[in-house]
Amino acid sequence: MRAAEIQNELTEVLVTEEQILAKLDEVAAQVALDYAGKNLLLVGVLKGAIMVMADFSRALPTVVPMDWMAVSSYGAGTKSSGVVQIRKDLDEDLHDRDVLIIEDIIDSGLTLSWLLENFESRGAKSVEVFALLRKPDAAKVQVDCKYVGFDIPNEFVVGYGLDYAERYRNLRDVAILAPHVYS
């Protein structure tokens, strides 16, 4: 589904699918160089990172294992609660692994900050982050992010894995959700 098909539910398209795919190719090439010869594990943060992980991993020129973790600090709202809940833990042991967390978006940074500390406490050799989207104006904590796709305004966005109440994840573009949809 493209944004044009539901334009009455959106206010503005911020990033198109074409821009996303070009950025994923660019970041994948850099990651392949940075992690050449290393024991890399991609960790996707469910559910939002599904689209990013799928397209990013396919853009990588090497075989790289993946694992998933589901954490939440949103519920059905549009603002982070700041309380992180683990909904699905990792299957892989992180000890002595180079971990690249794949995130759809960095908003407040609270969830990601918690994940970084959690993964380091599990003995990961290194932990870095690739976030497709980042909202610099929404940050409540500073989080080092080695790879960033796009900086976007502090608006409630949907698409490319991002949802509102489990809707809009399949939107191919990233767009601002119209307030009348969630008010």
> Which residues are catalytically annotated?
107
Cα 107–chain centre separation: 10
Q: Are strands 85-88 and 98-106 parallel, antiparallel or unpaired?
A: unpaired
In angstroms, the CA 129 to CA 143 distance is 9
